[in-house]
Copies of this chain bind each other. A is one copy, B any other.
Amino acid sequence: MNPADETFAETIRARLGDDILRPVEPRYLEEPRRRFAGQAGLLALPRTTEQVAALVRLASEVRVPVVPYGGGTGLVGGQVMVDGPAPLILSLERMRAIRAVYPTENILIAEAGAVLADIQAAAEAANRLFPLSLAAQGSCRIGGNLATNAGGVNVLRYGNARDLCLGLEAVLPSGEIWHGLGRLRKDNTGYDLRNLLIGSEGTLGVITAASLKLFPRPAGLGTAIFQVASPEAAIDLLALARDHLGETVSAFELIHRQGLDFLAEVLPDVRQPFDTPPEWSVLIELGLPAGHEPEAALEALFVAAEARGLVSDGVIAQSAAQHDALWSVRERIPEANRLIGSVSSHDISVPISRIPDFIRQGGEAIAALGPFRVNCFGHLGDGNLHYNVFPPKGHDRTEFDDQRAAIKRAVHDLVHEFEGSVSAEHGVGRLKTDDLERYGDPAKLTAMRAIKSALDPRGIMNPGAVLSDA
C-alpha cells in the first residue's frame, strides 16, 4: 500500500481538476472522543458520483488507502486512519443534495453528504417523517449514518438506519458504480448488496446516495417520564404499553438516578422531572394517528401500570414546551456524561428480558474493581444500554486510566456471557476490532474476511476498520 502523497495529488488534479483537493484541516483527523488521531494524506471533495468513482479507481490503481468521510461524528474511530500509509480522505460533504422527494411513495432520495437534520426537514416539508434521530443529527451525514447503521431514539418503532433504506448508489472498491437507488418496497433479484454495504463502515465501498423511507407524521405526540420500581418494572411497563398502544410507542428510554444527579451537578439549567431523583425512570413517547389524545392515552397507561405496582409517580407533557423539557432530560445526559468524564463507555445490547440481571451483575463486577459510579441508561425498548463508568466523586477520569482496560473487559465479558453485543449501535470502527476478534463468531469472521477480499482485493477501502488485518 502506498501513501496519498504529492505525486498522487498531481494525478488526481490532472484527472479531476484543481478544485477537488483541499488542505486537510485538523478536524478531519480528529474524532469526538479523541481516542484516535488520524494521519494527514490528501483530502478530496468530489461533487458527483462519477468523481467519487474516478477517485476510487485512481486509488485502486496505485493502491492508496481511501477513508470515506461523512460528518465525522462516529464514536469508534472508523473515520480516521491512525497508521499505515497516509490515506486519501474522501469527504462527501459537497454531495448534499436532496435529489427527490416522492410523498405518495413515502420515499426521499438524498446524496450521502446530506446532513441528517436537513433530510428530516425535507421530509417534514412534504408532511412526512424521516424517523432517524440521534444526538449528532445537526452535523452527521446520511452516508455515514448508513455506513455505520446508526440507531438513535426511534429504533423501537421505526428500526435503525438499515431499516430506513430502500436502495443505495455506491462506488465499489473497483471503482464501479452500483446504481441501486430503487424506489421499490419489494425486489428479490439477487443478493442483498444494500445491507452488506450498510454497516460495513466504509470497508466495502463508498455510499454516494440513498433511497430512504418516509412515514406519516404522527398527528399527536405524547411524552411522559414515569418513575418505575426497577428495571424489571420498566420492562413490564413496556410490554403493558405495547399491549395498550401497539406500535405507537416510538421511544422507551431508561434513565438512572446517576444521570439525573450528573445533570444536577454539571447542567443545573436542565429542569428535573421530579423533586427527588428516582433510582429508575423511563421516558415514553407515543406517536398517535389523528383523533387520539396522547395525554389521555398516557394517563390510562399510568393508571393501569400503577395498579400493577410498576410505577409510582409520573409527569405527562401537556404542551410542546413540556415535551421538549422532558426530552432534554434524556438528551442532555450524554453531555453531562462528557462533562463529568467517564473512565470507560460502553454501547452494548443484551436480550431485553435479561437486562435486569445484567444491570445487577454489571454493578457487582464494577464495584469489585473500585468505587466507580455507573450511569446505565438508554434505549431499553431495543435492549440497547449505554453503560458508562465514571470516577468516584471528586476524582478525575485520568486518575483511572490504567483501569480502563480492566473495566472494559469486565463489562464486555459480561455482555458476551449474556449473549449480547459489545457494539449495539456505534459500530466496530478501530476501537472494537479486538473485541470483534475475541467475541465474534468464528464462522462469521471467516465469511467476513472472504467477502472483504472478494470485493476489495487490493485492500484500499478504509483499511484497519472493522477487520484489523484487512
Contact = CB atoms under 8 A, between A and B. Distances in A.
Interface of A: 102-107, 148-149, 151, 155, 160, 162-163, 172, 174, 176-180, 182-193, 195-196, 198-200, 204, 215-216, 218, 235, 239, 242-248, 287-290, 349-353, 379, 381-384, 419-428, 432, 435-436, 439-448, 450-455, 466
A160 B192 CA distance: 13
A233 to B, nearest CB: 13
18 contacts: A104-B239, A107-B351, A155-B186, A163-B163, A180-B441, A182-B419, A189-B439, A190-B445, A191-B199, A191-B200, A191-B451, A193-B448, A216-B247, A245-B289, A246-B248, A248-B289, A447-B455, A451-B451
B244 A289 contact: yes
Contacts of A215: 247
Contacts of A105: 351-353, 383
A195 to B, nearest CB: 4
Nearest to A198: B192
A384 B353 contact: no
Given A172-B447, A447-B172, A349 B186 contact: yes
Given A174-B446, A191-B448, 9 more contacts: A176-B446, A178-B441, A180-B444, A184-B383, A187-B349, A187-B421, A188-B425, A190-B444, A451-B454
A196 B199 contact: no
In the complex, the count of this chain's copies comes to 2
Contact of A184 (B216, B289, B420, B447): B420
A424 B187 contact: yes
A192 B189 contact: no
B440 A186 contact: no
Contacts of A425: 186, 188
A172 B446 CA distance: 10
A189 B423 contact: yes
Nearest to A292: B292
A204 B443 CA distance: 13
A382 B187 CA distance: 10
A206 B420 CA distance: 24
